[in-house]
Structure 1
């Protein structure tokens, strides 16, 4: 774990220095480097994400919880992380308006994904209330 974070920090520092230099000379190349760095970090983390998902699936199976709820929560987390990831890339490129649209779309998608859980909670509460 410590080695991995050291690698990420090292790569981030080198990338940051290169970005500072490139932004002065070739801004388009700086944006491309920023995107490449982001993709490399994402790929580097795929194994960790898979491990988290596997553990969560195992816990759901052991607890006998409906997998639908876990799947929905994981989708919501995925949309949140990917939306933030894309928004940050857009902001790094100087496109704050595009970044805000990505954030807006992510929030709407999260709301739509959360609806079945909200409905299930409300239905459960309604069953508990006296008629």
Structure 2
């Protein structure tokens, strides 16, 4: 929890610093924002490795024949990557590109979740 607080405060400080440069040197503001985003992304990847270790423990305990945990992890990865890329594009002033990335992310999540939907529909059909 303390690590997350440190990252959040660092993000706020970077945003305030970037705002100081926004009027005089907008390119510096953009660079500060990108560096901050990349640093937070790197921390998230480090955090993700520890989460994956816990994921493997859960996977050993709970037999996952349908691959539902793997699908959940894919969906989390898709949403994080698309949100990250979209945020960078918005900061750069390319809102339309950011919107397209968000749409791609939503469609990818729907596509990744289709096997789970089919499994639920099959269970309902077998129940009736």
Tell whether the structures are fold-level matches, with TM greater than 0.5.
Answer: yes
Q: How many residues align?
A: 128
Contact 1:22–1:30 (Cα < 8 Å) also in 2? yes
The alpha-carbon distance between structure 1 residues 67 and 57, as it changes in their structure 2 partners (threshold 3 A), is farther
Q: In structure 1, what is the equivalent of residue 16 of structure 2?
A: 17
Contact 1:60–1:66 (Cα < 8 Å) also in 2? no
Counterpart-to-counterpart distance in 1, 2:83 and 2:75: 12
* Residue segments in structure 2 that go unaligned for 5+ positions in a row: none
Q: In structure 2, what is the equivalent of residue 40 of structure 1?
A: 39
The alpha-carbon distance between structure 1 residues 116 and 67, as it changes in their structure 2 partners (threshold 3 A), is closer
* Residue segments in structure 1 that go unaligned for 5+ positions in a row: none
Counterpart-to-counterpart distance in 2, 1:16 and 1:113: 34
Q: SS at 2:67's partner residue? A: helix
CA RMSD of aligned residues (A): 1.7
Counterpart-to-counterpart distance in 1, 2:75 and 2:8: 28
The alpha-carbon distance between structure 1 residues 121 and 9, as it changes in their structure 2 partners (threshold 3 A), is closer
The alpha-carbon distance between structure 1 residues 5 and 62, as it changes in their structure 2 partners (threshold 3 A), is closer
TM-score (norm 2): 0.88
Q: In structure 1, what is the equivalent of residue 86 of structure 2?
A: 87
Displaced runs of 4+ in structure 1, greater than 4 A?
Answer: none
